[in-house]
Amino acid sequence: MSMNTFGHLFRVTTWGESHGPALGATVDGCPPGVAISEEMIQQWLDKRKPGQNKFTTQRQEADQVRILSGVFEGVTTGTPVQLMIENTDQRSKDYGDIAEKFRPGHADITYWQKYGVRDYRGGGRSSARETAARVAAGGLAREAIKMLAPGVEITGYMTQVGPHGIDRARFDWDQIAQNPFWAPDAEAAEAWATYLGELRKSGNSVGAVVEVIARGVPAGIGAPVYAKLDTDLAAAMMSINAVKGVEIGEGMNAATLTGEDNADEIFMGNDGQPVYSSNHAGGILGGISTGQDLVVRFAVKPTSSILKTRQTITKSGEAAEIITKGRHDPCVGIRAVPVGEAMMACVILDHLLLHRGQVGGQIGENRGKIG
């Protein structure tokens, strides 16, 4: 990844600040012929946008995406696609009192130290608002994947809020769209609602864990050693604001397993394709997909913009206190779900293209046959 661009062939460059006129994604390398419209992308932005429910930030943004280039008569041309979202509800006055102070836990201080100039309004470029551009790019990636690898399905959901996890025995795909948390466990969703309601009233916040699954991904994508599929997924998720940990498959828990327990044994399936006894690997071996579900998890830290006084310093080096007023998000992890899905889509598409570039063949076709 290079500064503000990620991807090898499907290359996304995001731009824009929280309180600037607009933000967006310049998407280069999209295959031609992908049917795309503003509506197709908008649905994913609507899933992400603030003001959506009482558990996420109350900023009201229309988040209307415009396609400014790269599409002609309803399909991509293979030239760069500019996806722009205008900022409409900045409410600068909510942030005006922190021009001089550095909010603890935010990038205010590091952006200042590094660049010597910072757009303090809403966190400027460090704001999670940047993720709207990713979600737009992810919407385009999804449509390209539909065209190239129609069996792929990408779904994100929350598995943990604070110390409260889901019960995987109650896992139900249909629940995900039924509650404000994209929780696949209805009981957990209720518990979280109560828990977050209290947190919100007390002006505090908490972290969360998001899991993103991709089903139907062909085996064989990923480019070892440094563009391994898991490497690119780790980078993609870690680049999301407030993420502090990324896991593939068993994740950190793999450390506790023995070799006997961890290995996914291999058998021939009925359809002449290899099948595995389990999926501790999370769908990736040696950085290349196995054809099993890709399983990625990431932890989002709690926001530091809370309604409690924190100690900090000013630019001139004086001690100060700071407290967030106005909008406050008890759990920013919730809005990371569509962002994680978008990143998964972009990385998968990128690797489908990268594989056919270096190795060739039809998408889904393996150069090395088995059987």
- Binding-site positions for NADP(+) read 48, 54
317: left (phi over 0), alpha (psi -120 to 50) or beta: left
Smaller CB separation from its own copies, 47 or 297: 297
CB of 256 to its own copies, least distance (A): 5
CB of 296 to its own copies, least distance (A): 10
3-state secondary structure 293-324: CEEEEEEECCCCCCCCCEEEEECCCCEEEECC
CB of 64 to its own copies, least distance (A): 14
Smaller CB separation from its own copies, 76 or 175: 76
* 3-class secondary-structure state, position 248: strand
If we measure between CA atoms, which residue out of 343, 346, 341, 339 comes closest to residue 56? 339
Return binding residues: 48, 54, 125-127, 241-242, 286, 301-305, 327
CB of 166 to its own copies, least distance (A): 13
Smaller CB separation from its own copies, 175 or 303: 303
The Cα–Cα gap between 360 and 331 comes to: 44
Residue 206 — φ and ψ, nearest 5°? Answer: -145, 165
Smaller CB separation from its own copies, 193 or 240: 240
Residue 15 — φ and ψ, nearest 5°? Answer: -145, 160
Length of the chain: 371
Smaller CB separation from its own copies, 139 or 220: 220
CB of 215 to its own copies, least distance (A): 17
Structure tokens at 199: 């947190």
CB of 354 to its own copies, least distance (A): 6
* Cα distances (angstroms) measured from residue 91 to each of 18, 51, 86, 210: 11, 14, 14, 29
The Cα–Cα gap between 360 and 350 comes to: 14
Smaller CB separation from its own copies, 232 or 341: 232
N- to C-terminal Cα separation, the chain = 38
Return binding residues for FMN: 125-127, 241-242, 286, 301-305, 327
